[in-house]
A and B are shown apart, each in its own frame.
Chain A
Amino acid sequence: MSAIKYTFQIEKDDFSRAGEASSSIKKILMQVGSEPSLTRRVAIATYEAEMNIVIHSDGGTISVMIDPKCVMVLAKDNGPGIENIELAMKEGYSTATDRIREMGFGAGMGLSNMKKCSDEFSIESKIGEGTTIMMNMCVKEGE
């Protein structure tokens, strides 16, 4: 099986559809028979990426490249960019509004959850341009 690629559009503030991209990605992984703990990690990471784009960005895309052993996730948004990445990566730090927090989001765990789920994780951000997150997740030995 060669790598298959899917791209999902994520709209800013669209809470009624939020979670649909990550749910679709999980369904695709289940269909191709992906290993369950890899599927779980991809589900968590893409959910967090999707919610971050909905809550904090001006919209963006999530792409996944799936091959039998590894899943590469690329989450890209159109801005506004993260001022201090180090601070944003810190668990518990969030810039979410009170309204968002009342809905159970904005725990300041999104980026750290993504990193924990990934074997490789990178984040780049430019104010006024946007943020790109790359995550690579592979089946672990013995799974």
Chain B
Amino acid sequence: MKVKEVCQKINLGLLAGGEGLEREITGLYICDLLSWVMSHAVKGNAWITVQTHSNIIAVATLLDMSCIIIPEDMEVEEETLKKANEEKMPLLRSSQNSYDLVKEFLNHGIGK
């Protein structure tokens, strides 16, 4: 399913990187240790993380992830939004926590 469709289905707010909304989500990955993410996440993953600094855009771009989702309405740094736009990497935000987000994804059959 495309990032664009998922945004509508589970009510994710688009913060930046709107030019990448056609990317295909193939699964979910949740982790905040960047080196761990680098070695385990794969292409197409939607990545849920509480890290909000601009380096997350580099990680997501290097791995060809489909989007980044910031949970629980966390504030995101301006630099991160700028980088997301430059790299066309959708940066999304939800009021829900990571666990509830996963439940929503499963309810909609995304990443199954």
Q: A47-B38, A107-B36, A113-B38 are in contact. Are A26 and B62 (CB under 8 A)?
A: yes
Chain B 11-34 residues near chain A, CB threshold 8 A: 32-34
- Interface residues as binary, B55-80 with A (CB distance below 8 Å gives 1, 0 otherwise): 10111011100000000000000010
A47 touches B62 (CB 8 A): yes
Q: Determine which residue in B34, B39, B53, B57 has the highest number of CB atoms from chain A within 10 A of its CB, and name it.
A: B34
A18 touches B55 (CB 8 A): yes
Find chain B residues with CB under 8 A from A113 CB: 35, 38-39
- What class of interface size applies to chain A in its complex with B? 20 to 34
The reply to whether the CB of A40 lies closer than 8 angstroms to some CB of chain B is yes
The reply to whether the CB of B85 lies closer than 8 angstroms to some CB of chain A is no
Find chain B residues with CB under 8 A from A15 CB: 53-55
Q: How many residues of B contact A (CB 8 A)?
A: 21
The reply to whether the CB of B94 lies closer than 8 angstroms to some CB of chain A is no
Chain A 27-50 residues near chain B, CB threshold 8 A: 40, 43-44, 47-48
Give the docked Cα–Cα distance between A20 and B43 (Å).
Answer: 19
The reply to whether the CB of B51 lies closer than 8 angstroms to some CB of chain A is yes
Chain A residue, CB-CB nearest to B38: A44
Nearest Cβ in chain B — how far from A21, in angstroms?
10
Give the docked Cα–Cα distance between A121 and B87 (Å).
Answer: 30
The reply to whether the CB of A59 lies closer than 8 angstroms to some CB of chain B is no
Of B51, B61, B62, the residue contacting A44 (CB under 8 A) is: B62
A48 touches B35 (CB 8 A): yes
Nearest Cβ in chain A — how far from B85, in angstroms?
14
Give the docked Cα–Cα distance between A20 and B36 (Å).
Answer: 19
The reply to whether the CB of A16 lies closer than 8 angstroms to some CB of chain B is yes
Q: A15-B53, A15-B55, A103-B53 are in contact. Are A48 and B62 (CB under 8 A)?
A: no
- 5 closest Cβ contacts across the A-B interface? A19-B58, A109-B35, A43-B62, A104-B34, A107-B35
User: Which residues of B are in contact with A by a Cβ distance under 8 Å?
Assistant: 32-36, 38-39, 43, 49, 51, 53-55, 57-59, 61-63, 79, 87
Q: 30 pairs across A/B with beta carbons < 8 Å?
A: A15-B53, A15-B55, A16-B54, A16-B79, A19-B54, A19-B55, A19-B59, A20-B58, A22-B62, A23-B61, A40-B43, A43-B62, A47-B38, A47-B62, A51-B34, A51-B55, A104-B32, A104-B33, A104-B49, A104-B55, A105-B34, A105-B35, A105-B55, A107-B34, A107-B35, A107-B36, A109-B33, A113-B35, A113-B39, A116-B39
